[in-house]
Structure 1
Amino acid sequence: MAKKKEVTVEERLRALYDLQLIDSRIDEIRNVRGELPLEVRDLEDEVAGLNIRLEKLVSNLEVIDNDIAGKKNLIEESKALMKKYSEQQKNVRNNREYNSLTKEIEFQELEIELAEKHIKEFKVQIEQKKEVIAETKERLKERENHLKHKKGELDAILAETEKEEQALISKSEEYKKQIDERLVAAYTRIRTNVKNGLAVVPIERGASGGSFFTIPPQVQVEIASRKKVITDEHSGRILVDAALAEEQKEKMQKLFAKL
């Protein structure tokens, strides 16, 4: 505890900003990883949907093929009946029977004509569905390749960033130990309540980083003196001067490069 009291405000501010840079890097890694699994999941759903569509299209083709077979059977049955009725006409006893059989033959001719029309329509449907099947297969292949690529990308990022993330988490805990618990608690509270998890920000062009609210000149002088921890009255973020921020960014970039 005694050692922590000896730490100057400037050292605390530097440690706080270092902590912010480390935690922001962790956020960045998690954001990248957070988007890719969703993308992979969406692609998996799309591929599954395309496979289901293909199955339905193929099933529809089988139904149409069965319908065509049914119509062809009907044509053969009608031809058989026409032949039968034609034979019967040779043995009729009167015009009424002959005319009745003629009507039956004409009816079967219409049945054949209608069946042939349906077969033509079915064949057009088959061609259309075959086109859709070909397009769907092409789309499926493209989506499967994209999914494979994205899965590989995700696996690579996981393999690459998992080690870095764990190292950064350890560094985050290490830097927290350099700061008194009250400040760490304040930092954590602010980080939870603000956009992008930025609890410590530098002054940029006379305003707090990421804000349009101008910091009064006298407050800017106080921040630059690094004698006390100052928060932005509008956002509640802890403020550091631009020079300190730049120095710590360079330092942490070198650290990140080693992880």
Structure 2
Amino acid sequence: MAKKKEVTVEERLRALYDLQLIDSRIDEIRNVRGELPLEVRDLEDEVAGLNIRLEKLVSNLEIIDNDIASKKNLIEESKALMKKYAEQQQNVRNNREFNSLTKEIEFQELEIELAEKHIREFKVQIEQKKEVIGETKERLKERESHLKHKKGELNAILAETEKEEKALIAKSEEYKQQIEARLVSAYTRIRTNVKNGLAVVPIERGAAGGSFFTIPPQIQVEIASRKKVITDEHSGRILVDSALADEQKVKMEKMFAKL
């Protein structure tokens, strides 16, 4: 049985830096999209909310129209009763019956007055709601237009980058399989804890990339020897020498060009 080839520290460092370059490329693509997906989602929610509001307002108008129709029916019923009571007054036998019918007529008159008052109030509500409906429709039209524009922007970016992003994500997973789990775990932890997602950085002008803290010459020599994985004491990032970084950048740029 063939003995499995042992991976050197240098090979691990190169694989880790390759993984970093792939993940940084994915970050760049996602940064280009920026807040657009969130903007589109927020606009979709707002448009949906305005549509629901519009439906409720139109439904309320229908209810008010039905209430007006109901009050008008009540008025017609009251008028019919008043006519009936007035006719009955012509055939009463005594004042008590006449007065009783008079009270019924007066009651129906009050019912008519109250119904007419309600109708006036309902009509005011209709005008107010129609005004709100007009404003809501205007707002909806403006938001739908904005949403269409933002979706167009997002779709254009996705059309340009989606294929590359999927290929890079697959590559990222592929490279992780080539690196021992312990290092992948450390890489992921560091990457999560730093703002720019850089877990593996080269030495630049005597300091870790993106850092102002100078690395002692002896440590720089150790990093350049590629005999062990060394982390920056200040940021916790994994360090590689600039020559290794430049070599891997050239290699990965060629790979990116093919995606």
Query: 1 CA distance for matches of 2:35 and 2:48?
Result: 20
Identify which range, 56-65 or 23-32, moves more after superposition: 23-32
CA positional deviation for 1:122: 0.7
CA positional deviation for 1:117: 0.7
- Could you list the runs of 5+ residues in structure 2 that have no partner in the other structure? none
State whether structure 2 residue 103 is matched by structure 1 residue 109.
Answer: no
**1:235-250 alignment runs, 5 A limit:** 235-239=235-239
Backbone CA RMSD of aligned residues: 4.6
Tell me: CA distance 1:96–1:182, structure 2 relative to 1, closer, same or farther (3 Å).
Answer: closer
TM-score by length of 2: 0.72
Identify which range, 46-55 or 59-68, moves more after superposition: 46-55
Deviations 1:183-233 (A, max 9, x none): 888656644665443112356787544557564466467668989764202
Query: 1 CA distance for matches of 2:102 and 2:133?
Result: 46
Tell me: CA distance 1:184–1:89, structure 2 relative to 1, closer, same or farther (3 Å).
Answer: closer
Deviations 1:145-199 (A, max 9, x none): 2222222222211110023335656887999999999988865664466544311
- Could you list the runs of 5+ residues in structure 1 that have no partner in the other structure? none
CA positional deviation for 1:22: 3.7
Identify which range, 213-222 or 169-178, moves more after superposition: 169-178
Tell me: CA distance 1:214–1:128, structure 2 relative to 1, closer, same or farther (3 Å).
Answer: farther
Is this contact kept in 2: 1:213–1:234, CA < 8 A? yes
Q: Report what 2:119 is aligned to.
A: 119
Is this contact kept in 2: 1:4–1:180, CA < 8 A? no
Q: Report what 1:35 is aligned to.
A: 35
Query: 1 CA distance for matches of 2:23 and 2:236?
Result: 18
Aligned length: 259
Tell me: CA distance 1:138–1:205, structure 2 relative to 1, closer, same or farther (3 Å).
Answer: farther
Identify which range, 115-124 or 146-155, moves more after superposition: 146-155
Tell me: CA distance 1:226–1:66, structure 2 relative to 1, closer, same or farther (3 Å).
Answer: same
Identify which range, 59-68 or 25-34, moves more after superposition: 25-34
Tell me: CA distance 1:99–1:190, structure 2 relative to 1, closer, same or farther (3 Å).
Answer: closer
Tell me: CA distance 1:156–1:109, structure 2 relative to 1, closer, same or farther (3 Å).
Answer: same
CA positional deviation for 1:130: 1.1
Tell me: CA distance 1:188–1:69, structure 2 relative to 1, closer, same or farther (3 Å).
Answer: closer
Identity %: 92
Query: 1 CA distance for matches of 2:238 and 2:2?
Result: 24
